[in-house]
């Protein structure tokens, strides 16, 4: 009997971008089940609630028929969450050398917490290396076109949220 290989792709996904989508698509080829962990992380001042982000990620994964995805929020140590979901692999996307420096440090700490869980890095494809959720939010807040960086459904949600924020600032 073959073992179910569970991978965990964690992030805040605020919002989920086409770069995240690319990593999810590629990571799904490496594992039998891909858990997408949506971090609550209020310190990052999210545009969307964790429930909204979970919904957006779940909607995006519907485009991969036949792949076993689980989308779950988490608010604890990544290694504890990985153990909870039975992950043997943590998948991280890298856009630039600066990402690697941070991730390298995190891997070292995570290995001290649980040496049984491996971390796998997937390089962002060249057309997605520059996309960051924080930049997408900034572009949207300054009335720029974000449709090349997120799905149509996500762009609509961002536009609606930005409009709400701007209306509240004018009150």
Does residue 44 carry a catalytic annotation? Answer: yes
Angle, helices 50-61 vs 152-170, to 10°: value is 160
Does residue 95 carry a catalytic annotation? Answer: yes
Return d(Cα 53, Cα 72) in angstroms, integer.
10
Return d(Cα 137, Cα 71) in angstroms, integer.
22
Does residue 98 carry a catalytic annotation? Answer: no
Q: Give the residue among 2, 24, 28 at the shortest CA–CA distance from 11.
A: 24
Q: One of 95, 111, 125, 161 is an active-site residue; which one?
A: 95
Q: One of 133, 137, 151, 157 is an active-site residue; which one?
A: 133
Does residue 148 carry a catalytic annotation? Answer: no
Tell me which residues are annotated as active site: 20, 44, 95, 133
């Amino acid at each position: 009997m073959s073992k179910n290989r569970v991978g965990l792709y964690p992030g805040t996904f605020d919002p989920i971008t086409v770069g995240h989508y690319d990593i999810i698509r590629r990571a799904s080829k490496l594992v039998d089940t891909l858990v997408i962990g949506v971090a609550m992380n209020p310190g990052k001042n999210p545009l969307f609630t964790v429930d909204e982000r979970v919904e957006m990620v779940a909607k995006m994964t519907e485009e991969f028929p036949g792949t076993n995805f689980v989308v779950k929020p988490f608010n604890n140590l990544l290694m504890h969450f990985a153990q909870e979901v039975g992950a043997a692999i943590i998948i991280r996307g890298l856009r630039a050398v600066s990402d690697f420096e941070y991730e390298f440090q995190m891997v070292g700490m995570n290995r001290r917490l649980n040496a049984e869980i491996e971390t796998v890095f997937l390089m962002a494809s060249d057309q997605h290396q520059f996309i960051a959720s924080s930049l997408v939010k900034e572009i949207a807040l300054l009335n720029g076109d974000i449709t090349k960086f997120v799905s149509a459904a996500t762009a609509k949600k961002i536009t609606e949220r930005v409009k709400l924020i701007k209306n509240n600032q004018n009150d």
